[in-house]
Amino acid sequence: MDITIVKIGGNLIDNNILLSEFLSSISSYVLSNQPIILVHGGGLIANTIADSMGISYKMHNGKRITNKEMLEISVMVYAGSINKQITAALCSLKCSAIGLCGADNSLILSERRPIKDIDYGYVGDIVSVNTSFLISLLSNGIIPVISSITMDISGQLLNTNADTIASTIGIELQKHKDVTSIRLITCFDKIGVLEDIHDNKTRIDNLSYNRFLELKNRGIIDKGMIPKLDSGFKGIHNGINSVIITSFVHIDQELNHVKCGTQLQA
């Protein structure tokens, strides 16, 4: 089985028109009997709700610090509203889709991130993935739509970076006997990794790990791009066959192997 994992978030989730067009492309691909897993983050909705309730939130190196109040909002928004809207939209396009978080059938078990220099609060680092459950769904033509909420062994829900979830799912699925290849496509609002964020002509077609480290040290790659690329390179170094960073508007081309974004290379 050749599996494509698509990760979305940010501006796409916050724009109903763009999201509808994107999911239409996903449905066309799936209806041609191609197995796909969709992983999503939360966009800006959780922040908007937190602001309206006077709840503070912080980010560190592109990763969210999640206190108890922010966890409750994240579960409500990520595993609830967003997840079900995406699932419903796919089902309306004649796809078989199921909305999931890490707690469903112990899909993704994690542990609370230990406190070192930063206390990330209720943030989970992944321990295991129920790959047999995912293979069962995919074998029956069902699209798993997975939100960025996981759980620990005691049942505590935890907020977990969606890029990390997508990459880890790919790494673990690659070990399954029924899987022949894994492709990870991470979609956001840029056409790929840019040397100048304001100039699309500076897109990097092929990005090596050493080049990534150089650009990060120079501050050209920062904030939310760091965990995105860290996760992508972890995937490349641990068995994922192809990792692409691209714009959501190019999903049709990327799904059909027409390269538009940035390909990560070891």
Residue 46: what pLDDT?
Answer: 83
Sequence-ordered strand ranges (E) for the chain: 2-8, 36-40, 58-60, 63-65, 96-100, 108-112, 124-129, 142-146, 149-151, 157-159, 181-188, 206-208, 242-247, 262-265
Helix crossing, 131-139 with 162-174: angle to 10°?
Answer: 80
| 145 touches 83 (CB < 8 A) | yes
Q: Of 5-9, 16-20, 33-37, 58-62, where does mean pLDDT reach its minimum?
A: 58-62
Q: How confident is the model at residue 14 (pLDDT cuts 50, 70, 90)?
A: confident
User: Residue 199: CB partners within 8 Å, gap ≥ 6?
Assistant: none
Mean model confidence pLDDT for the chain: 92
| 156 touches 214 (CB < 8 A) | no
3-state secondary structure of 264: strand
Q: In whole angstroms, what is the distance from residue 87 CA to residue 68 CA?
A: 27
* Chain CA centroid to CA 262, Å: 16
| 261 touches 244 (CB < 8 A) | yes
pLDDT for 120-132, tens place per residue? 889 999 999 999 9
Sign of torsion over alpha carbons 254, 257, 258, 264:
positive
Residue 215: what pLDDT?
Answer: 92
Please determine, for residue 95, whether its predicted confidence score (pLDDT) is greater than 80: yes
Residue 62: what pLDDT?
Answer: 64
Residue 170: what pLDDT?
Answer: 98
**% of the chain exceeding 70 in pLDDT:** 98
Please determine, for residue 219, whether its predicted confidence score (pLDDT) is greater than 90: no
Mean of pLDDT values over 172-188: 95
pLDDT for 34-60, tens place per residue? 999 999 988 788 888 888 888 877 777
User: C-alpha angle 241/244/245, rounded to 5°?
Assistant: 155
pLDDT for 225-254, tens place per residue? 888 899 999 999 999 999 999 999 999 999
Residue 51: what pLDDT?
Answer: 85
Q: How confident is the model at residue 61 (pLDDT cuts 50, 70, 90)?
A: low
User: In this predicted model, which residue has the larger pLDDT, 176 or 64?
Assistant: 176
Mean of pLDDT values over 180-205: 92
Question: Which residue ranges form the domains of the chain, and what is each CATH number?
Answer: 2-265 (3.40.1160.10)
**% of the chain exceeding 90 in pLDDT:** 72
242-247 and 157-159 strand pairing: unpaired
User: Residue type at 44?
Assistant: L
Entry pTM:
0.94
Q: How confident is the model at residue 112 (pLDDT cuts 50, 70, 90)?
A: very high
Residue 44: what pLDDT?
Answer: 80
Q: In whole angstroms, what is the distance from residue 93 CA to residue 106 CA?
A: 28
